Homo-oligomer: A and B are copies of this chain.
């Protein structure tokens, strides 16, 4: 397993040079303390934790996995100690309000942290990650009494949390869910049912686990309009916050998974477990979806985590492994053969990984600023503000989640490929990265769900194309601004064409969708991937523009970093962006290509 080294130079480039986070934080009510020095110190400390404590447990965690014995889950060796360091360092509450013991930093810093923690050890990061989802939900919907009990230990990391949605027969289609909640008459409820795929559903890292559970009241209407939200703690806290009785929720099995083996994926049986409703009756699904955009960006990060880690591993190997000679002649004549990094095709693979990791990171850092405003809307109880920024963010979420996790998986597979046969061997850790990365396109809404959310909901229904028009206007303006810069003209020209095409394609799909509703599903995947490639192209051009400016100024002591940005942008435009052409062509093909074949004609004996 490659030893993780946090890409701090790239992170600082994005924070300070590309997206001007200092100015962004200065305007946020909770950004005063996030001055550049503090942010710098947080990055350094987080990198240390990730590199020194979490990264060394990544391979061993996969090998050992989690064990279930008598309803108790044992996490792999070293996880408990690592989690204690994580919690005692105050990392869990980094972006949560000070009134609950958090550090009150903006949400975006939490995302930066998540990347480092997640790249070092994605399985580990699932435990605090799920807790964040639970905390966010409580923060918005719980009563002050419940917040007082639950938020401080969760923020401190002394307790952890989960999100219990999926049941054996339904995941995406939550309208089918069956878990019941019956009033006990004392204001609490008896929750009964089976939930599956519950990450961090049971483990030995914290003294209590707070489940946020979707269930139906006895008189609830069927479907999605009859789902309510409940707090169901593993151990019922007393009014003073101390631990009381064990609740009726039991982990009956751990899933055997392809990867993220150190993350406990639990089947949870709720048997008359005591729970408390939060939010309004029958509006649980809406409540659950409040932080959906944030949660999905948390998963989008997985794409860049695995691209980055696999890149670091492949790069080290490509410099070290010697095979054949470069076609243009010996590069290391005194060696038995040239290092494989001298082969253009190996560089193509490495640059693919690098372009995905850094291009994706830029997309995340951009969206993270929107998430800051959105989160503040919630914290401040300003519904209008929340809605405004959540809508803005909502356009980026499915693209980031769907596109970046697909590309993250590709990058992880390229890392194996650079290793050749050795990539298939467990000891090197490269295959684990691909197995760990494989979950990212499945959970938090599959790529297909993201694609439909993007094209069907965000673009066609909610904004009638406006979301695309707005973002392509940003691209178009960038193109105009950069057309006269000789270093940038190439990118400006290409981007201008794609911005226009993206709009045209959107319009064409809108028109088709009026007559043919299946066309939305038929086009959605290609539209998602197309959007991702064009959006990433913009963020690469943006990075190139800044880099080119820095080089042009001559003021940079170390132009190599900026030159590498230019080279990677060039690579992206030459080798990855052209894939958008195929998607552009396929998305406008008739839906009947997909729908026409009768079900019984897919195979013949």
Contact = CB atoms under 8 A, between A and B. Distances in A.
A426 B521 contact: no
A416 interface: yes
Interface in A398-429: 409, 413, 416-417, 420-421, 423-427
B424 A434 contact: no
A87 to B, nearest CB: 28
B257 A525 contact: no
B425 A438 contact: no
Contact of A343 (B324, B448, B582): B448
Interface stretch (A205-213, A272-280, A548-556, A593-601): A593-601
B424 A446 contact: no
Interface stretch (A5-13, A131-139, A141-149): A5-13
A176 B322 CA distance: 10
B345 A451 contact: yes
A472 interface: no
A242 interface: no
A497 interface: no
Nearest to A603: B315
A597 B324 contact: no
B426 A518 contact: no
A561 interface: yes
Contacts of A39: none
Interface stretch (A76-84, A389-397, A534-542, A572-580): A572-580
A593 B575 contact: yes
Interface stretch (A109-117, A166-174, A502-510): A166-174
A339 B602 CA distance: 15
8 contacts: A5-B605, A170-B323, A257-B425, A258-B425, A343-B521, A416-B442, A424-B442, A560-B600
Contact of A10 (B176, B319, B586, B604): B604
A334 to B, nearest CB: 15
Given A344-B521, A603-B315, A442 B423 contact: yes
Given A567-B597, A578-B582, 5 more contacts: A257-B424, A312-B603, A327-B518, A420-B446, A574-B593
A328 B197 CA distance: 31
Contact of A438 (B324, B434, B585): B434
A68 to B, nearest CB: 15
B438 A431 contact: yes
A519 B327 CA distance: 9
A351 B518 contact: no
A315 B597 CA distance: 13
Contacts of A426: 256-258
A346 interface: yes
A337 B223 CA distance: 11
A328 to B, nearest CB: 5
Given A323-B172, A443-B421, A597 B351 contact: yes
A441 interface: yes
Interface in A491-514: none
A290 interface: no
Nearest to A176: B336
Q: Give the one of A344, A579, A586 with max B CB within 10 A.
A: A344
Interface in A88-126: none
A323 B413 CA distance: 30
A65 to B, nearest CB: 12
A521 B327 contact: yes
A517 interface: yes
Nearest to A580: B582
Given A417-B447, A442-B423, A596 B567 contact: yes
A435 B258 contact: yes
Contacts of A582: 578-582
Q: Which 6 A-B pairs have the closest CB atoms?
A: A344-B521, A258-B431, A578-B585, A574-B589, A578-B582, A344-B522
A316 B425 CA distance: 32
A568 B593 CA distance: 8
A436 to B, nearest CB: 11
Nearest to A312: B603
A583 B582 CA distance: 9
A605 B8 contact: yes
Contacts of A225: none
A85 to B, nearest CB: 23
Contacts of A600: 560
A424 B438 contact: yes
A255 B427 CA distance: 9
A520 interface: yes
A452 interface: yes
B448 A424 contact: no
A521 B345 contact: yes
